[in-house]
Structure 1
C-alpha cells in the first residue's frame, strides 16, 4: 500500500490492539464435540441427498454427517477429502448458504438448514490437527507434471496427480503458496495461518515441490514447460484488475481492493494499515464486500459500496450483503462511477451516475450523485493477462482460457482450471473441483487409457 496515503486522514492505528483482535477474530468459531454431535443429529440423511447434488465437488454429505454423529470425525474427514482435498478451506469460505445448505430439507421445511459447513470444518480440522494422512502414493510413474499456480485449483490438481504416482512441480508467482486462500479472502474468514497449514497438509502426501517467486511470462514460458514436462496444468487465477473507466482513477487514494485485502492478510499488525475516514468501494462481488467490511473493521467511519445494478444482480450472496450491513456498511445500487474528484492531488470524492435498464441493457440516466471520499477501492472484477499466450485467439474465450469438459485446452498436453478458465464459478470449491477433474484427465492421458489400480487408503486409527 502506498506510504503516501499516511496523510490527510488516511492513517493507521485508529483502534486499540484489543479492538483489532476482536474485529478480526474467527467469523464462525469452530464447533466443539458436543455442538457437532447435536448439529449432526439434525440431519435427515436423505436418500436422494439434495445437499450432495448441490455441492460442486459432490461430497457425500449425509455419510460424513452420519460419521460425525457416531463419533467418527476422522472417517468423516476422509469422506470429505476423497472428493475435496481443500475441504478445510471450503468449509470456511464457501457460500454454503447458496449451495448445500440452501438445498437442505431442513432449510425448505423450517428455514434452518443443518450447518453443513460448520460440520465439515469440525471433521477436517480434527484430521489436520492430528496430521492424519489418509492416502498413500501409487508407485512412481516416471511422469513429471508442471502446475502453474499454487491456489486451490493448482493444489487440488497436484495432490491428485501425486496420489497417482506422478511427480509434480508447482510454480507460483508469490512468496507464499495458497493463491487466493492466502492472499484474497477476508482475514476474519481464515484465521491462525490456516491457509499455510492447509498447503502443508496437502503437500505432505509427497511428490510435490513448490517453487515460489516464479512467474509465468517472467521467469519461464508455457513453451518452456511443455518442453520439460509431460503435461502442464494452468491454475494461475486472475491477476489483472479491471479499470473503473472513470476520470481520475489514477489519483492517489484510488486502490485495487485485491491489493488492499492481500496487504491486510499479510499484516501481522492490522494497525499499520492506512484507512480513510470515508471509504467508497466500487463493485458488487465478494471482493467488494470483503474490502468494505474490513475497511470498517479497521476503523473507517463511513464505508459505502456502490454497484451499477440492483441487489438481485450482485454476485455477493445475500448473507454476505447482510454481513456488510451488520458491520455498518451502506450498499447503494444503480450507480456507476464517472469521475474521481481531487483536492491537492488526492481523492476527495467520487461522482457517480444513476443507471437504469433500457431494453434490458444497462444505461446511464444522466443524473449524478457525489459522495465524499478520501479512499476509493476498485472491486469490479479481475482479468487474465492475454500477453502470456502466443496464440491467444484460439486459447482464450471472453478473456479466459477455453477448456473442454475435462479441463483440456486447445494446446496438446496443457490443461487449466480455476478462476482463469471460462465457465464455472469463481469460487474455491469450483477451482478445487476443476483441479481434481483435470488431474484425472491428465492421468488418463499419461497412462494411455490404461486403467490403473485405485490408490490404497490407510486404515483409520
Structure 2
C-alpha cells in the first residue's frame, strides 16, 4: 500500500508526526505587550463608536482599547467582562470581520480596521492568566436556579445569577462543560485547552455547581426542575443534524461534521485521527469551513466544499472562505447532493446536481456531476430536538422549530427562560448566545427579587 500522504481509505497518520502540532497551532497568535500598545494607538476612540453598536454584547470597545493604550490591561479586561464574561473565547471565535471590525472607522477610511478581536484577547488573556477576579457575589438570596446546558448561553446566565447571590446548578449532557466552545469550533481557533480554563475562570465566582452527564429528558426533567427550583434557564443548543436527503447517505464514510469537529477537539493524538484521501463537505457555513480546513490539516489530499447556492449566499464569512482557500480547500457553488456513491457499503463518491435560481426558488437543473470521495461530511445545519421538553411536563411553545421567547427570554412556561441556539432570536453566534444568557439572567433576577415590577408571580 502507498505510504504517507497518499494512503488509501480513511486512515490516520497521513503526515509526519511533527507537522500536526504546526498545522493546529494558534490561528491568530496573541499580541505581545508592544504589539498591543501599537495596535491600540490606531483606535480613534470614536464618540458613539459604530464598533460598539455592532457588538451583540455592547462592549465599550473604545474604552477597553484606551485602557490598553494607557497600560491598564486588567482594567480593559474588566470593561470587557462587565458585558461579556466569555470575552476571552469570543475574541478567538467571533467573526469580528463582519461585526465590530467591519464597522470600524479605520475599515471605512483605509480598509484596515483596528484589530479589535486580538486586542480583546490580549486583555482577557492577561486577566485569566493572572486569575484576576473582578466580581464578588452578592449576599445569598436563598433562591435556586437550574441552568440546562453549560455552553456560552448557560455559562453567561449562571455567572450573572451567581453574581446576584443566587445558587445555580448547571446540568450538562456532555462529559465536559463548555458547549460549542469545548466541542464545536476548530482546534486552531482555541488552543491549550482554553475552553476549560475559561469555564474555571467563570465558575470561580462561586455559587455555581456543574453536573456533567445530565441530559434533559433522560437524567433530569423539566417539570421536576420547574417544581424544585425557583427558575429554570434552557440553554442546551441544538442537538439534531440535518440530513442530506440524498440516496445512500447511510453509507460508511458519511459523517456529521459537528461530530468530526468534536472528536478532533477532544483528541489527544491528532496523528491517530482517521481522515480520507478525498473529502467532500456539504454546506456553506462556519461548520463546513472548520471541517474542510481541518481535514486538509490532517492530511487529506483533496478537500472540496459543495454549496447549493452562490458565494454571496454562504453563511461563512469572507475571511473564513479565504482561510479555506489558503489551505488548499476547493469551494464549489450551485451544487446540491443527489446520491452517495458506494461500493460494498463504503463511500466512493458523491453525485451532485447543478442548481440555479428560478425566480425566488432554488431548483435543480438536471445536470449531474460526480466527485470521487472516500469521506463525506454533512454540514448543512443543525436542528432543535424538542422531545426532551414536551415529554417531561407542560409543553413549551415553539417558533420556527425552536423555543419561542419574549424580549426578556421568557418562554410560554411559567418560571422557564431560554437563550442561545435553542431559541429563534438573532444569529447563531457565541457572542449572541452570551448576550441572551446574560440578559435572561437579569430578567430572572428581577423576577426573583421581591417588590420589583418584574416580580409578577410567574417565577
What TM-score, normalized to structure 2? 0.96
Contact conserved, 2:304 with 2:330, CA < 8 A, in 1? Answer: yes
For residues 112-155 of structure 1, give each alpha carbon's deviation from its aligned partner in whole angstroms, at most 9, with x where no partner exists: 00000000000000000110000100000000000000000000
Matched, 1:206 2:234: no
Compared CA separation, residues 19 and 142, structure 1 to 2 (3 A): same
Unaligned runs of 5+ in 1: 1-6, 453-461
Query: What does residue range 45-84 of structure 1 map to in structure 2 within 5 Å?
Result: 45-84=45-84
In 2: Cα distance, 1:191 partner to 1:82 partner? 24
In 2: Cα distance, 1:141 partner to 1:9 partner? 59
* Match in the other structure for 1:419: 421
* Match in the other structure for 1:405: 407
Determine helix, strand or coil for the equivalent of 2:77. Answer: helix
In 2: Cα distance, 1:336 partner to 1:210 partner? 42
Matched, 1:377 2:396: no
Unaligned runs of 5+ in 2: 1-6, 455-459
State the Cα distance separating 1:8 from its structure 2 match: 5.2
Matched, 1:396 2:398: yes
In 2: Cα distance, 1:312 partner to 1:449 partner? 51
* Match in the other structure for 1:235: 235
Determine helix, strand or coil for the equivalent of 2:52. Answer: helix
For residues 374-405 of structure 1, give each alpha carbon's deviation from its aligned partner in whole angstroms, at most 9, with x where no partner exists: 00000000011121222897511111111111
Counting matched residue pairs gives 446
* Match in the other structure for 1:336: 336
Query: What does residue range 84-95 of structure 1 map to in structure 2 within 5 Å?
Result: 84-95=84-95
Query: What does residue range 423-442 of structure 1 map to in structure 2 within 5 Å?
Result: 423-442=425-444
RMSD: 1.3
Matched, 1:223 2:223: yes
Matched, 1:354 2:336: no
* Match in the other structure for 2:266: 266
State the Cα distance separating 1:450 from its structure 2 match: 3.3
* Match in the other structure for 1:38: 38
Query: What does residue range 82-121 of structure 1 map to in structure 2 within 5 Å?
Result: 82-121=82-121
State the Cα distance separating 1:345 from its structure 2 match: 1.3
Compared CA separation, residues 449 and 26, structure 1 to 2 (3 A): farther
For residues 168-214 of structure 1, give each alpha carbon's deviation from its aligned partner in whole angstroms, at most 9, with x where no partner exists: 00000000000000000000000000000000000000000000000
State the Cα distance separating 1:239 from its structure 2 match: 1.2
Contact conserved, 2:187 with 2:264, CA < 8 A, in 1? Answer: yes
In 1: Cα distance, 2:235 partner to 2:102 partner? 29
Compared CA separation, residues 279 and 393, structure 1 to 2 (3 A): same
State the Cα distance separating 1:448 from its structure 2 match: 3.5
Contact conserved, 2:396 with 2:413, CA < 8 A, in 1? Answer: no
Query: What does residue range 121-160 of structure 1 map to in structure 2 within 5 Å?
Result: 121-160=121-160
Matched, 1:192 2:230: no
In 2: Cα distance, 1:390 partner to 1:155 partner? 24
State the Cα distance separating 1:451 from its structure 2 match: 8.9
For residues 419-443 of structure 1, give each alpha carbon's deviation from its aligned partner in whole angstroms, at most 9, with x where no partner exists: 1101211110000000000000000
For residues 235-270 of structure 1, give each alpha carbon's deviation from its aligned partner in whole angstroms, at most 9, with x where no partner exists: 001011010000000000000000000000000110
Determine helix, strand or coil for the equivalent of 1:389. Answer: helix
In 2: Cα distance, 1:205 partner to 1:277 partner? 47
In 2: Cα distance, 1:226 partner to 1:420 partner? 18
Contact conserved, 2:338 with 2:352, CA < 8 A, in 1? Answer: yes
Question: Which has the larger displacement, 23-32 or 396-405?
Answer: 396-405
Compared CA separation, residues 365 and 177, structure 1 to 2 (3 A): same
In 2: Cα distance, 1:283 partner to 1:221 partner? 34
Contact conserved, 2:277 with 2:302, CA < 8 A, in 1? Answer: yes
In 2: Cα distance, 1:448 partner to 1:86 partner? 29
Determine helix, strand or coil for the equivalent of 2:390. Answer: coil
* Match in the other structure for 1:3: none
In 1: Cα distance, 2:83 partner to 2:288 partner? 30
In 1: Cα distance, 2:155 partner to 2:144 partner? 15
For residues 61-92 of structure 1, give each alpha carbon's deviation from its aligned partner in whole angstroms, at most 9, with x where no partner exists: 00000000000000000000000000000000
For residues 43-74 of structure 1, give each alpha carbon's deviation from its aligned partner in whole angstroms, at most 9, with x where no partner exists: 00001200000000000000000000000000
In 1: Cα distance, 2:335 partner to 2:223 partner? 44
In 2: Cα distance, 1:400 partner to 1:184 partner? 20
In 2: Cα distance, 1:74 partner to 1:404 partner? 36
* Match in the other structure for 2:23: 23
Stretches of 4+ aligned residues off by more than 6 angstroms: none
In 1: Cα distance, 2:389 partner to 2:68 partner? 47
In 1: Cα distance, 2:151 partner to 2:390 partner? 24
In 1: Cα distance, 2:220 partner to 2:298 partner? 39
